[in-house]
Chain A
Amino acid sequence: MRNILILLAIFIIASCKTDLDLQPVSSVTTDNFFANSNDFVQGTNAIYNDLLRYPDRLYNLSETRSDNLYAVSDGGVRDWEGVNDFYNDLSTNAYMSEAWVTNYNGIFRANLVLENLADRGNLVTDTILRTRLQAEAKFLRAFFYFDLVRLFGKVPLIDKTVLAAEAATIGRSPVSDIYDLIISDLKYAADHLPSTNGTTSSADTYATADRGRPTKYAAKGILALVYMTRSAPTYSMEGPGLGLNEWQQAADLLNEIINSGNYAFLTSFTDIFSYSNEYNKEVVYNIDYTSGASPSVGASYPGILVPDTYFSAISKNTQGGLTIRPVSTDLLNSFEAGDIRKTFTIQTGYTNTNGQVETRSFLKKYVDITKVPTVTQDWSINFIVLRYTDVLLLKAECVLHGASGSQGADVDAIVNQVRVRAGLTGDKANVTLAELMEERRKEFAAEGTRWHDLVRSGLIISIISAWITSEDVQNKIQTFTPDYIIYPVPKSQLDIAPGLYTQNNGYN
Chain B
Amino acid sequence: MKCKQPWTRASMIALIFLPLWTFAQTKMSDVKGIVHSEDNHPVIGATIVIRNTQSNFTTGAKTDTAGLFYASVPAGGPYHFTITSIGFEPKNYSGYQLRPGTTFTLDVSLKAAVGSLDQVVVVGYGTQRKSSLTGAVASLNTENLQQRPVTRVDQALIGQMAGISVKQTTGTPGKAFSVQVRGAASISAGNEPLYVIDGFPLSTAAPGSAGSFGSGNPLDNINPDDIESIQVLKDAASSAIYGSRGGNGVVLITTKRGKTGKAEISFNANAGYSKAVKKLDVLSGKEWIDRATEMINQQWVKSGANRTAAQSNDERRTLLGLPASGIDINYMTDDRWTQPNYGGLKFIDWQDEAFRQAALQNYQLSARGGTGTLNYFLSGNYTKTDGLVKKTDYTLYSVRANFEVKANDRLKLGLNINPSYSITNDPGVEGKDNILHQLVSATPVQLFDAENVNVFTYDRYPWAVSNNSPVAKLLYFIGATRRFRTLTSLYGDYEIIKDLHFKTTVNLDNTDNTSKTYQPNGVTVSSYSTRLASPNAGTYGALSQYRRQTFVNENTFNYNHNFGQAHDVSLLAGFSYNSDYLYANLERSSGGFNYSNITTLNGAVAITGNSTETQNKLLSFFGRTQYAYKGKYLLSASLRRDGSSRFGNNTKWALFPAASVGWNITDEPFLRNVKPLNNLKLRVSYGETGNYNIGDYASIALLTAANASLNNTSVAGQTQGSIVNPDLTWEKSQTIDGGIDFGLFNNRLTGSIDYYNKITSSLLLNVPILATTGFQTYLSNAGRVKNNGWEFELNAKVINTKDFSWNLGGNLTLTKNKLVALPNGQTQIVIPSSLGDAAVHSILKVGEPIYSIYVLKRTGVLSQEDIDKGVPLYTSETAGDPKYFDANGDGVINSSDRVIAGKPSPDKIWGINSTFRYKNFDFAFLVQGQSGGTIYSLLGRAINRVGMSSLENTLGIMRDRWRSAEEPGNGITSKAVTSTTYIANTDWLYSSNYWRVRSITLGYNLGKALKAKQINAARIYITAENYFGHDRYYGGFNPEAANTDVSGSTSFPEAGDYGGLPLPKSLILGLNITF
Contacts and interface: CB of A to CB of B under 8 A. Distances in A.
A209 B895 contact: no
B321 to A, nearest CB: 9
Contacts of A247: none
A208 B711 contact: yes
Interface string B601-617: 00000001001111111
A354 interface: yes
A19 B645 contact: yes
Nearest to B304: A473
B824 A297 contact: no
Contacts of A49: 706-708, 717, 719
Contacts of B980: 73
Contacts of B613: 25-26
Nearest to B712: A290
A19 B329 CA distance: 67
B495 to A, nearest CB: 11
B708 A45 contact: yes
Contacts of B575: 9, 12-13
Contacts of A293: 707, 709, 714
B824 A497 contact: yes
Given A92-B840, A493-B771, A312 B530 contact: yes
Given A170-B772, A375-B591, A493-B771, A16 B529 contact: no
B21 interface: no
Given A28-B703, A315-B530, A5 B494 contact: yes
Nearest to A289: B709
Determine which residue in A30, A85, A156, A162 has the highest number of CB atoms from chain B within 10 A of its CB, and name it: A30
Contacts of A496: 768-770, 824, 826
B709 A104 contact: no
A323 to B, nearest CB: 10
A354 to B, nearest CB: 4
A275 B460 CA distance: 35
A156 B875 contact: no
Interface stretch (A75-83, A121-129, A399-407, A458-466): A75-83
B718 A43 contact: yes
Nearest to B720: A30
Given A213-B710, A315-B529, A167 B895 contact: no
A1 B553 CA distance: 18
Nearest to A42: B718
Contacts of B553: 12
A97 to B, nearest CB: 8
A409 interface: no
A75 B328 contact: no
B773 A380 contact: no
B230 to A, nearest CB: 30
A82 to B, nearest CB: 8
Interface stretch (B6-14, B774-782, B1006-1014): B774-782
A212 B710 CA distance: 5
Given A5-B494, A87-B875, A357 B717 contact: no
Interface stretch (B155-163, B192-200, B684-692, B830-838): B830-838
Interface in A449-508: 474-476, 478, 490-493, 495-498, 500, 508
Given A20-B644, A89-B894, A290 B838 contact: no
Contacts of B705: 295
Interface in B951-980: 979-980
Nearest to A477: B876
Contacts of B875: 85, 87, 476, 478
Given A20-B643, A20-B652, A42-B716, A355 B701 contact: no
Interface stretch (A107-115, A186-194, A251-259): A107-115
Given A42-B718, A108-B774, A293-B714, A87 B894 contact: yes
Contact of B696 (A22, A290, A295): A22
B696 A24 contact: yes
Contacts of B829: 495
B1038 interface: no
Interface string B431-472: 000000000000000000000000000001010001000000
B82 interface: no
A59 B619 CA distance: 54
Contacts of A81: 981
B713 interface: yes
Interface string B847-885: 000000000000000000000000000011000000000
Interface string B934-946: 0000000000000
A294 B586 CA distance: 14
A101 B771 contact: yes
Contacts of A9: 555, 575
A88 interface: yes
Interface string A182-222: 00000000000000000000000000111111000000000
Interface string B457-494: 00010100010000000000000000000000000001
B715 interface: yes
A356 interface: yes
Contacts of A33: 703, 718, 720
Interface in B713-736: 713-720, 723-724
B598 interface: no
A104 B980 CA distance: 34
Nearest to A490: B771
Q: Number of contact residues on B: which range applies?
A: 35 or more
Interface string A297-318: 1100000000000001101000
A154 B652 CA distance: 43
Contacts of B800: none
Contact of A107 (B322, B502, B774): B774
A176 interface: no
B105 interface: no
Most chain A Cβ neighbours within 10 Å, of B502, B533, B612, B771: B771
B605 to A, nearest CB: 9
B710 A209 contact: yes
B534 A315 contact: yes
A353 interface: yes
B837 A355 contact: no
A353 B709 contact: no
Given A164-B778, A210-B710, A5 B502 contact: yes
Most buried by A among B612, B701, B837: B837
B26 interface: no
Pick the most buried of A208, A290, A490: most chain B CB atoms within 10 A of its CB. A290
A278 interface: yes
A73 B830 contact: no
Contact of A355 (B462, B711, B892): B462
A15 B411 CA distance: 27
Given A25-B613, A312-B530, A16 B711 contact: no
Interface of B: 320, 322, 326-330, 411, 460, 462, 466, 494, 496, 502, 504, 526-530, 533-534, 537, 553, 555, 575, 577, 579, 590-592, 608, 611-617, 619, 643-645, 649, 652, 696-697, 700-703, 705-720, 723-724, 767-776, 778, 824-830, 832, 836-840, 875-876, 890, 892, 894-896, 947-949, 979-983
15 contacts: A19-B579, A43-B719, A77-B947, A101-B771, A108-B775, A109-B706, A161-B774, A164-B770, A212-B709, A288-B712, A293-B709, A295-B707, A356-B328, A356-B330, A380-B712
Nearest 10 Cβ contacts at the A-B interface: A108-B774, A45-B717, A48-B708, A46-B717, A293-B714, A46-B719, A46-B706, A49-B706, A297-B709, A89-B894
Interface of A: 1-2, 5, 8-9, 12-13, 16-17, 19-31, 33, 39, 42-52, 73, 75-79, 81-82, 85, 87-89, 92-94, 97, 100-101, 104-105, 107-109, 111-112, 156, 158, 161-164, 167-168, 170, 208-213, 278, 288-290, 293-295, 297-298, 312-313, 315, 353-357, 374-375, 380, 382, 474-476, 478, 490-493, 495-498, 500, 508
Given A75-B948, A93-B837, A104-B773, 5 more contacts: A77-B947, A156-B772, A210-B710, A288-B709, A290-B709
